[in-house]
């Protein structure tokens, strides 16, 4: 029996050296300690031994078993290590670049739009929208810009053919469709579809029949603002716009309301800012938006009583703000989509 055990231990120790995989190991292990295994067979002999020989035999068997189990455990550990190493592959070089070299970015105009909307949302303004393909009535007439007004010139506005029908922009009568020249038309659609009090910002795309150059674009974006309530005043206009401008340009920015003219506000102003942190544009007055109190005629056009309600409105150029904030000198960068531009923001 001693020889048998020694031979088994020897066999195990020798064979395990060549066993590298788990199935080979399990097969070999079965040959030794399985139901028909060689060690199992030796152990079965134990029962047939005389009583006085049993303790010595048991000791021998235990000794052999301990050795075999230790050898198994070592091999199993080695296999486990090998498997893990195989799963892990080669160690990484952390300095190599990732092959997935794409990074998502929002366009600077989107970033600016979201920032503007976020600022106004803190004053309770919610986002409204309206069609880009707009009827002349909503774009002009309702905004107190009659047919004889210079802004109605074919020169400035892009028109659709007379027979155009749009399912997404209702008409007042048989007026033409235009590509909206400002987002102020959203004021009209908002006031017609709801009741005051109203406090909205309407970001959107606008169109002018302009030759493209460093400061002009065939389309551009505005964020329109409208606040209609019982007692909205000039002081509110100044306060709201000062808040907005300071959030965007910092608290050191100076502002002024310069009297101007828009058919849909009375009084009307251009808001100018002056800042020392605008690079080459520092220290001078820069026009950034048109604004004013809603003209009573506009209220009448949408069936709101101007005796009871007053309002303020403004329209900020998105490109203008983004250009000032980021020091961009040419509006065409926004529409060229060169990744060397887009990846900067």
Partner 1 sequence: MKVSIQWLNKYVDLSDIGEERIAEALPMIGLEVEDVLKAGLVPLQNVVIGQILEFVPHANSNHLSVCKVDVGDGVIRQIVCGAKNFKQNDVVPVALPGATLPGDFTISETVMRGEVSQGMMCSARELGLGADHSGLLILTGKGFKLGTPINDCFPPADTVFDISITANRGDCLSHLGVARDLAAYFNRELKMPVPENIFARERPSGNASNEFLKVSIETPDCALYNAWTIRGVKVAPSPEWMQRDLLAVGLRPINNIVDITNWVMMELGSPLHAFDAAQIGGNEIHIRKASEGEKIKLLDGKDYVLSAEHCVIADAQKAMVVAGVMGGENSGVTDATTDVVLEAAWFDPASVRKTSRKLALSSDSSTRFTRDVDPTFVAVAGTRAAQLIVELAGGTVAGTPISLGDWPRADRMIEISGDYVRERCGYDVEDAEILDIFKRLRFAVTIEGDKWQVLVPAFRPDVDRPIDLVEEFVRIYGTTTIPSGAIDSPVLPALDAKTARFVAKANDLLVGQGFSECVHYTLRDEAELKKCFGETIAAALALANPLTSEQSHIRPSLLPGLLDALKLNLAAHNEPRRLFETGHVFRPDKSGALRELVSVAFVALAEPTTRNWKSREKIDFYFAKKLAFDLAARAGITEQRLLVEAVAAGTSPLWQPGHAAVANDRAKAVSIEMGLISPKLALDWDIEANVIAGELLFTSDTFKLADKVTKFKAFSTFPPVSRDLALVVDQSVSEGFVADRLKATATKATAKQFAVEKINCFDVYQGKGLPEGKKSLAFEIVFRSENKTLTDDEVNKVFAKIQLDIERNIKCTIRK
Instruction: Looking at residues 116 to 135 of the shown chain, list those that interact with partner 1 (rule: CB under 8 A).
Output: 121, 123-124, 126-129, 131-133
Q: Which two three-digit tokens encode residue 285?
A: 């007055």
Q: 281 or 342: whose CB is closer to partner 1?
A: 342
Using the rule CB under 8 A, is 209 a contact of partner 1? yes
In angstroms, what is the minimal distance from the CB of 276 to partner 1?
19
Helix axes 38-46, 2-18, angle to 10 degrees: 160
Contact between residue 321 and residue 288 where contact means Cβ atoms under 8 Å apart: yes
Contact between residue 140 and residue 179 where contact means Cβ atoms under 8 Å apart: no
Q: What angle do CA 162, 165, 169 make, to 5 degrees?
A: 115
Provide the 10 A C-beta neighbour count for residue 203: 24
Q: How far apart are CA 248 and CA 292, in angstroms?
A: 20
Q: How far apart are CA 198 and CA 228, in angstroms?
A: 5
Contact between residue 299 and residue 188 where contact means Cβ atoms under 8 Å apart: no
Using the rule CB under 8 A, is 214 a contact of partner 1? no
Contact between residue 282 and residue 275 where contact means Cβ atoms under 8 Å apart: yes
Using the rule CB under 8 A, is 148 a contact of partner 1? yes
Q: How far apart are CA 190 and CA 192, in angstroms?
A: 5
In angstroms, what is the minimal distance from the CB of 182 to partner 1?
15
Q: 11 or 236: whose CB is closer to partner 1?
A: 236
Q: Of 36, 95, 211, 251, which one interacts with partner 1 (CB under 8 A)?
A: 211
Q: Which two three-digit tokens encode residue 39?
A: 């060690």
| Chain residues 171-200 in contact with partner 1, contact rule CB under 8 A | 176, 179, 197-200
In angstroms, what is the minimal distance from the CB of 286 to partner 1?
12
Q: Of 2, 14, 166, 193, which one interacts with partner 1 (CB under 8 A)?
A: 166
Q: Of 11-19, 29-37, 81-89, 207-215, which part binds partner 1 (CB under 8 A)? A: 207-215
Q: 28 or 269: whose CB is closer to partner 1?
A: 269
In angstroms, what is the minimal distance from the CB of 144 to partner 1?
11
Helix (H) or strand (E) holding 201: strand 198-207
Using the rule CB under 8 A, is 92 a contact of partner 1? no
Q: Of 22, 66, 258, 284, which one interacts with partner 1 (CB under 8 A)?
A: 258
Q: 23 or 339: whose CB is closer to partner 1?
A: 339
Q: 2 or 164: whose CB is closer to partner 1?
A: 164
| Chain residues 281-320 in contact with partner 1, contact rule CB under 8 A | 293, 295-296, 310
Q: Which residues contact 123 (CB under 8 A, 6 or more apart)?
A: 199, 240, 243
Q: Which residues contact 19 (CB under 8 A, 6 or more apart)?
A: 25, 28, 75, 79
Q: Positive or negative, the Cα torsion across 233, 239, 240, 242?
A: positive
Q: How many residues bind partner 1 (CB under 8 A)?
A: 94
In angstroms, what is the minimal distance from the CB of 98 to partner 1?
9
Q: Of 11, 13, 175, 242, which one interacts with partner 1 (CB under 8 A)?
A: 242
236 closest CA partner among 288, 194, 289, 292? 292
Q: 50 or 150: whose CB is closer to partner 1?
A: 150
Q: Of 19, 109, 191, 323, which one interacts with partner 1 (CB under 8 A)?
A: 109
In angstroms, what is the minimal distance from the CB of 324 to partner 1?
18
Using the rule CB under 8 A, is 35 a contact of partner 1? no
In angstroms, what is the minimal distance from the CB of 172 to partner 1?
17
């Amino acid at each position: 029996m001693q020889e048998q055990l020694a031979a088994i231990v020897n066999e195990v120790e020798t064979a395990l050296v060549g066993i590298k995989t788990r199935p080979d190991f399990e097969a070999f292990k079965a040959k030794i300690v399985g139901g028909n295994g060689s060690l199992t067979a030796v152990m079965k002999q134990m029962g047939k031994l005389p009583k006085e020989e049993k303790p010595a035999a048991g000791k021998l068997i235990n000794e052999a078993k301990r050795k075999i189990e230790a050898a198994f455990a070592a091999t199993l550990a080695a296999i486990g290590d090998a498997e893990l190493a195989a799963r892990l592959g080669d160690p990484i070089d952390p300095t190599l670049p990732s092959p997935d070299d794409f990074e998502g970015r929002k366009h600077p105009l989107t970033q600016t739009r979201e920032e503007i909307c976020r600022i106004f949302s803190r004053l309770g303004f919610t986002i409204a929208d309206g069609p880009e393909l707009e009827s002349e009535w909503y774009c002009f007439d309702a905004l107190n810009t009659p047919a004889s007004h210079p802004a109605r010139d074919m020169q400035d506005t892009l028109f659709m053919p007379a027979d155009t029908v749009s399912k997404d922009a209702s008409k007042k009568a048989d007026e033409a469709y235009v590509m909206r020249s400002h987002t102020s038309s959203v004021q009209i659609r908002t006031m017609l579809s709801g009741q005051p009090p109203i406090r909205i910002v309407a970001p959107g795309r606008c169109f002018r029949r302009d030759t493209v150059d460093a400061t002009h674009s065939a389309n551009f974006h505005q964020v329109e603002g409208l606040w209609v309530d019982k007692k909205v005043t000039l002081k509110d206009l100044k306060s709201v716009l000062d808040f907005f401008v300071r959030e965007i340009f910092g608290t050191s920015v100076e502002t002024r309301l310069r009297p101007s003219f828009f058919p849909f506000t009375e009084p009307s102003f251009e808001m100018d800012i002056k800042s020392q942190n605008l690079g080459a544009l520092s220290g001078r007055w820069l026009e950034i938006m048109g604004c004013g109190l809603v003209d009573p005629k506009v209220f009448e056009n949408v069936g709101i009583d101007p005796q009871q309600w007053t309002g303020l409105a403004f329209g900020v150029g998105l490109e203008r703000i983004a250009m000032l904030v980021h020091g961009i000198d040419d509006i065409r960068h926004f529409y060229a989509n060169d990744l060397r531009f887009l990846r900067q923001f």
